[in-house]
Structure 1
Amino acid sequence: MEILILAVVIALVAVGAISGLVVSSRKKKQLPPTAPPSTPTITAPPAEPQVGEDAAPTAQEPRRTIEEVELPDAQTAVESPVAVEDPVVGLAPAPEIEVPEPTAGRLVRLRARLARSQNSLGKGLLTLLSREHLDEDTWEEIEETLLIADVGVVPTQELVDRLRERVRVLGTRTPAELRSLLKEELLTLVGTDFDRAVRTESGVDTPGVVMVVGVNGTGKTTTTGKLARVLVADGRSVVLGAADTFRAAAADQLQTWGDRVGARTIRGPEGGDPASIAYDAVKEGIAEGADVVLIDTAGRLHTKTGLMDELGKVKRVVEKHGPLDEVLLVLDATTGQNGLTQARVFAEVVDITGIVLTKLDGTAKGGIVVAVQRELGVPVKLIGLGEGPDDLAPFEPEAFVDALIGD
């Protein structure tokens, strides 16, 4: 029995020795050499301001006591106060008020510009009348020249008939005689007996009220603003009524014109009732004691019955305050016979009292002055000669005809 136990113990010792050798050999096995790993570069995030408990301690600066602060004496503080304006909340500077150019003789001063674009009519007529033999073909060319200039069929025929008679009686035709003859006949055609003054005085205690009408694209709002400059230049105080509520930024455009000359603009919401705004403008003009109220209406197509009816409503509402002293129809001088069609329809809705011809500087069709006056029986009172703020001029027949004929 003892021999058996001894054998088991020897066997266990042998097994343990063998296991130790195996483990020891495994530990001594060398792994293949590897390259040492590179050290990664770590970029620190930018420093952020710290608040609260994480805030860095502030540098302590020496502080003065109340006794060390020197205050100005009472006399200095009262005599030289220093105002400090906050650049952020300071008020915007008021717009500079412009001084418009005086209106007296304005068309005469602008005559050269008008002549450059208009005198092709006068030169053409003088060239034809200077021919040695004035046969039927020549007179037909004279008629064609007048028709192209939009003088109109009936006025053209009248002018040609008078020219033929006077040239036949005159006999000799020197350049000076022809120029004088043509000037006389054109002046007769344009008309010198019209009252071309823009009526801006009501004759009662209310301001003079002027309503400006026309189709889209004729320069109606610009004309209203320029007319305000004309009136201010003549010493009149003006209130503007922005009753064009359909065109985007029309009220802004009119207010810009008014701000330039110190005229107040009455306006309402976009798409609002034009009659209500016109009524308020006249009301404010009365309250302020203004001399003139100018009402800019929306551009209306003469083929749209509803819009034209609304224009009549504006007129009726304004007249509740008093008489409407002037209704100016703005026409584009380049539209020719289409402008006459527009004029007829507007005259049926409101009583047109005067015509404003715009864009007269860019066309040789000065004869539209004659045609539109014949069509409506009302005078051309103002003409637009360019894009400048002072290029709206009172119409003067003599200066206009001189520009047509040229030097």
Structure 2
Amino acid sequence: MVKIESFSVEKWMDQYEHHCEHNIAETCCASISIDQLRELSEDKGREIFQASKPLTYGSIRGSDELRSNLARLYSAKATNPLSPDNILTTPGAIQANYLCAYALVGPGDHVICHYPTYQSLYDVPKQLGAEVDLWKAKAQNQWVPEIAKLKSLIKPNTKLIIVNNPNNPTGAVLKRPFLQELIDVASEHGIIVMCDEVYRPVFHSITPADSGFPPSLLSMDYRKVIVTGSMSKAYALAGIRVGWIASRDPEIIEQLAEARHYTTISVSQLDEQVAAYALHQNTIHSLLARNIKLAKTNLELLEKFVLKNDDACEWVKPLAGTTAFVKFHREGIPVDSVDFCEKLLKETGVLFVPGNECFGEEFKGYVRIGFVNHTEIIKEGLDKTTKFVRKSLDDVKLAT
């Protein structure tokens, strides 16, 4: 029997997200409806669903329209266009990430995973019998891990390096020069690199004019790269459960496709039609503009909150994505994150995610804040949190 550790962040969200007044733990850009999606399109007469189409399993590897739209996005500014045949769709990015581990690693293999990050990225390879080392990033280095440390972690049996860019929970970005060094190290040893890019392209605090602006890892000149993505975070459509895997290596795609037959068979035709509509050229630009504007607006509110409470909290300001990792303390001593979050929720109805419970016990005092929900929810929630910090922080336990 596979030993499955408790998936702490999902367990926390399952327990509390439907029992809070202000959800500032949600990591998706504020979700939209089908009607709102249509309003964002430049072609409002275009149908989202083909109502007369029989609801068979559909295209096993993903609909032609959806994969063509994705291929167009990955081909933009790339030297070599990506073929739709190099993409597989999945029910969400969590299944895409699971499938990569399921197909590529097992007992006797070694995996290196960027950390902190979403728990399944390192725990699923462990469940499958692989040895996993965490490639740790630190706040004092802007949450960017060190290439020298990566080199020291590599073993003769290292099969896979996993990174998350932009990062959950920190909102940090691995920039272009760093990515090139990563690719250079991986190619020297022939190691596959998998990058979870679900928060791409919500770049709210870095622009393409920046020399370090990170391309998709798929655009780097290395065939043994896999990227995963989703409609949930950057595209505000978590409810349709559509994700994908893309690689320039046909052998990797075929290996994943073989494994996929044992898991999903296909993705819902209805979901794929909505995703294809959202990623169409008539819709995607206004959809992303809406979400990035929301991120910028709300990040200003969060930055003001941190400044207002700088005697009780600190952070590394995120550059991209929808999350921030904020550390709360009393006179420099970190608070107990779980006690902080539970008391905050009970007294104010505001939901955060405790860092040491959901991302690693070393993250004492940290909470993850999802700041790209509706602006009023963020504003009211942060205002209530400020009052809580002023009134009740002394009643919160300190971390041990």
| TM bracket, shorter-chain basis | 0.3 to 0.5
Structure number with larger C-alpha Rg = 1
The two structures have a TM-score, normalised by structure 2, of 0.34
Indicate the structure whose relative CO is greater, using CA pairs within 8 Å and at least 6 residues apart: 2
The two structures have a TM-score, normalised by structure 1, of 0.33
Which structure shows the bigger proportion of residues in helix conformation?
1
